[in-house]
Amino acid sequence: MLLSRSIFLQLIVPFLLASGILTFILSMETVYRLIYLIVERGVSVFSVGLMLLYRLPQFLSVTLPLAIVIACVVLMVRLSTDNEISAMNAIGISFWEIGRPFFLFGIVATVLTLSITLWLQPAGYAAFEEEKLRVLKTQTTKTIQPLVLNYDFPGKVLHVQDKDENEDLSGVFITDRELTKDSMVTLADRGRINVREGERDLVLFLEDGLIHLQGSAGNYRTIAFEKFNYIFRPPQIVPEKKGGHIWGVPTNLLWGDSSQSSQIELFLRLTTPWACVAFAVAMVPLGLINPRRGRSGAFLRGLILVVIYYILWMGAKEMTQNLNYQPHVLWLPPLLIWIFGLYSLYKSNLNLRNIFDMLNSFGKTGPRVKKQVSVS
């Protein structure tokens, strides 16, 4: 009991350090783009900090399984180097008992990651999108200046005659950046920019205007309106990935949605965290080293295990998204790592000498054969 508690507590510090370092590295691109908003567009540090905080759960869902690998390797290397594994084996402590606290730590990390992927990550991403649109609306309104052509809207050119202190526009002129036969020119007496609720775009509310249409067949017509919503995609401050919008959908809504994309996202949230406990079990035997040899072998085996897992994970994801396999396939990567870890633990439980013999035999061509000498 004391041994398990000691090993469990020793895993906490390297796990937290690895999580922090990996999360920082993974967030560097987002941090760079958000710093650009502060420097170039004058966005407040508070708004940028909020957006980074909202993205944090998404980063943690990726880095926590990797941190488990690093923490287990670091502790197993230290226990092996200090001959503590040999001492435990000498007093009759089985390898199953040594691996128990690693398994329990993996369970705790899995529960933590599940809470992130099922609740914190979708809530954080939805809040990030909301804050991003709010910042875009504020910045877009600021960039619109009277009697100045504005090219911030993709494919459009905007010009206004005046803008008052309430950000209300007057004398609005909108046209396509490249005029073609199908171009549309819009004129309005008044306008105001706002965020379209439930969507990820901005809308320009126009009042009392005309729409000039030039058809491809050469026909020309005008449409008068009292109110018109001109919808456009805002410029991106952080690049959106394909299917990224579903990241912000609450998990309870995915349960009731039978569409393929929703089910894939649901199973990704359910299966990914189980890599934590799978890695924790597998890295106990893989983290063993011969004290007489270097420590790099354990880290190399951990790296290979992570690469194999993510190859399996990407393959399973590809099968569900493009080959129409059932989302249940996403359970295979953590399950295979789990089975491998249990098998390695079983083999390693024979005795400590066999473990070191197994590790030292890597790279050798075959087993040694003892010669029998007969006496006649």
What pLDDT does 243 receive?
A: 54
Write out the two tokens for 18: 């690895």
Quick count: other Cβ atoms within 10 Å of Cβ 47? 18
The pTM of the full predicted model, rounded to 2 decimals, is 0.78
Spell out the residues 6+ positions from residue 343 whose beta carbon is closer than 8 angstroms to its own: none
Task: Give the angle 52-46-193 at the CA atoms, nearest 5°.
Answer: 95
Spell out the residues 6+ positions from residue 74 whose beta carbon is closer than 8 angstroms to its own: 14
Q: Which residue stretches of the chain have pLDDT < 50?
A: 351-353, 355-356, 358-360, 362-376
Can you list the pairs that 154-162 forms with residues at least 24 positions away whose Cβ atoms lie under 8 Å?
Answer: 154/232, 154/233, 154/235, 156/232, 160/191
Tens of pLDDT along 324-376?
899 999 999 999 999 998 888 877 765 444 544 544 454 444 444 444 444 43
What pLDDT does 197 receive?
A: 60
| Closest C-alpha to 309, from 342, 334, 283 | 334
Pairing of strands 184-195, 156-159: unpaired
- How much is the mean pLDDT over the chain? 83
Tens of pLDDT along 234-245?
655 555 555 556
Instruction: Give 107's DSSP letter.
Output: H
**For residues 107 and 274, what is the distance between their CA atoms, to the nearest angstrom?**
8
Write out the two tokens for 276: 């934590």
Percent residues over pLDDT 90 in the chain = 43
**For residues 66 and 217, what is the distance between their CA atoms, to the nearest angstrom?**
60
The helix (H) or strand (E) run that includes residue 190 is strand 184-195
Quick count: other Cβ atoms within 10 Å of Cβ 308? 14
**For residues 250 and 266, what is the distance between their CA atoms, to the nearest angstrom?**
10
Q: Which residues pair with 193 in a beta bridge?
A: 204
What pLDDT does 306 receive?
A: 95
Quick count: other Cβ atoms within 10 Å of Cβ 199? 11
Spell out the residues 6+ positions from residue 42 whose beta carbon is closer than 8 angstroms to its own: 139, 142
| Cβ atoms of 184 and 213 closer than 8 Å | yes
What pLDDT does 165 receive?
A: 81
Structural domain boundaries in the chain: 2-136+250-360, 153-232
What pLDDT does 183 receive?
A: 73
The C-alpha R_g of the chain, in whole angstroms, comes to 30
Tokens 């502060």 belong to residue: 38
What pLDDT does 312 receive?
A: 95
**For residues 287 and 148, what is the distance between their CA atoms, to the nearest angstrom?**
64
Residue type at 153 in one-letter notation: F
Tell me how far apart the terminal alpha carbons of the chain are, to the nearest angstrom. Answer: 57
What pLDDT does 267 receive?
A: 95
Tokens 């046209």 belong to residue: 175
Count helices and strands (H / E) in the chain. Answer: 12, 6
Coil, strand or helix: which one is 146?
coil
Spell out the residues 6+ positions from residue 115 whose beta carbon is closer than 8 angstroms to its own: none
Q: Write the secondary structure of 41-105 as one string of H (helix), E (strand) and C (coil).
A: HCCCHHHHHHHHHHHHHHHHHHHHHHHHHHHHHHHHHHHHHCCHHHHHHHCCCCHHHHHHHHHHH
